[in-house]
Amino acid sequence: MRILKLLILVFVFGITSKTSAQEIYNADYTFTIEGLPAGENMRLAYYLGDKQYIKQESLSQEGGLVNFKIDTLHVGLCMLVFPDNNYFEFVAKEPRVIMKTNKDDVIGAMEVIASEENAKLYEYLKYNNQRQMDLQKIEDNAQLNDEQKATMRKDMNQKGQVRQKEFVEKYSGSFMAKLISASIDYVPKEAPEGLSDDEINAFKFYEYRKHYFDNIDFSQSDLLYSPVFHPKLMAYTDQLTLQQPDSLIAATDYLLEKASANDEYFKYTLITLLNKYAKTKVICQDEVYLHLVDNYYLAGKAVWMDEESLTKLKTSADNLRNNLCGKLAVNFELPDVNGTKQSLYAQSAEYTILAFMQTDCIPCEKVLEELSKMDQAVLPSFKVVTVFREGDQTAWKGVLMTKTKDNWVNLMNVDGALNIVRDYNIQSYPTLYLLDKDKRIVLKRISASQIVDYFNSF
């Protein structure tokens, strides 16, 4: 029995779709758990991507009997969760399930009375449970040396892979077989002869990536309601894709094209990718977010969105358009401490550090101190331009006198002449940009130390 690490203790509506929904109606699930006292609050929960949600609660009866009667439930992998958040899994695919086990040995004592799907699942789980115990015996055997243990582990793992395939073939079409198949790594075919080592590695990588989702049937939504799909989705974007906007955009389009075979997959994949790139801390990846908003949400493909939500998304996207990495920064003219207007584009330097600040801001003062310590002799030629939020002039002059250097250009955004949200997407202070000699955006929303690291990477 495992411990549920993430369980949302409220009922949350799952993803609904117009087509291809796999649902069970009038489900009647009964579990008898020896050793379970009466009156325990048991919860039936289901997976959705990387989350788990409670579907229904039921009090245990005498003899450890627990019953759930559910109007509708998605086909997928579910959990019976104990009050201490321990749980065991079962397949929800049939309207009637009867299972019996012992609280202290759920897998070993499991008896599936009514459910072909769960009989298959627990045949596999019992095998895998025994295999894990055998592996542990090898680790605990003090008479074996490390080399012997490694050889025995390798042999058992190879036999385990063969056994997995046997289960898949034996129970083809079952949910258990789908779970196993989706978890088995594709083995790339042999590379053509005559290639260099680097070319062979590249061939195998692209072959592996091409077939990464072969064992996911996107026309059926059942694996979406399991812990299998979400990690594969994240692995494809994070590990199998070059972390550059163009490559990531191509990857998201590929994923959404595959997911379009099923409304539920499409909705989950699009929402997950949008949230991922809206929250990304990787510098200059917000172009991916903008692409998803423009080409899917604002293009009318997110049919579940209401007008108010779409308007908010459009606003957030519009605030990114003028400040994408690689684009020319928006020029502006703002007054310096003497009231003389200074233009951003008039500042000549190999690099410009554009720092958006405000007075009475301790983090801002810390960043200003860090910038002032940057050595012009070590780093390429750069100029610091600060843009302060409009505020008390005396306080501003005090900050400039103590925290900045004489060769900096210090400006104040008087009367909001510069639309900092629209043009630079300033949501908080301090915010730093690094511009090249043509005032193209090299880096943004970075720390002073990241600027130093960038220069040191040359």
CB atoms within 10 A of CB 457: 6
* pLDDT interval class at 281 (50, 70, 90): confident
pTM over 0.85: yes
Q: 183-187, 374-378, 382-386: lowest mean pLDDT where?
A: 374-378
* pLDDT interval class at 378 (50, 70, 90): low
User: Looking at residues 89-116, what average pLDDT do you find?
Assistant: 96
391 has pLDDT over 60: yes
Domains 23-114 and 328-456 equal at CATH topology level: no
User: Looking at residues 31-38, what average pLDDT do you find?
Assistant: 97
CB neighbour list of residue 48: distance below 8 Å, 6 or more residues apart: 14, 15, 74, 224, 225, 268
Q: 17-21, 279-283, 298-302, 420-424: lowest mean pLDDT where?
A: 17-21
User: Looking at residues 209-220, what average pLDDT do you find?
Assistant: 95
Question: What is the predicted pLDDT for the residue at 23?
Answer: 93
Question: What is the predicted pLDDT for the residue at 12?
Answer: 32
Q: Where are the domains of the chain?
A: 23-114, 221-322, 328-456
423 has pLDDT over 90: yes
Residue pLDDT, tens place only, 223-252: 999 999 999 999 999 999 999 999 999 999
Residue pLDDT, tens place only, 294-305: 999 999 999 999
* pLDDT interval class at 9 (50, 70, 90): very low
Question: What is the predicted pLDDT for the residue at 21?
Answer: 61
The superfamily CATH assigns to domain 328-456 is Glutaredoxin (3.40.30.10)
Residue pLDDT, tens place only, 182-193: 998 898 999 999
CATH number of 23-114: 2.60.40.10
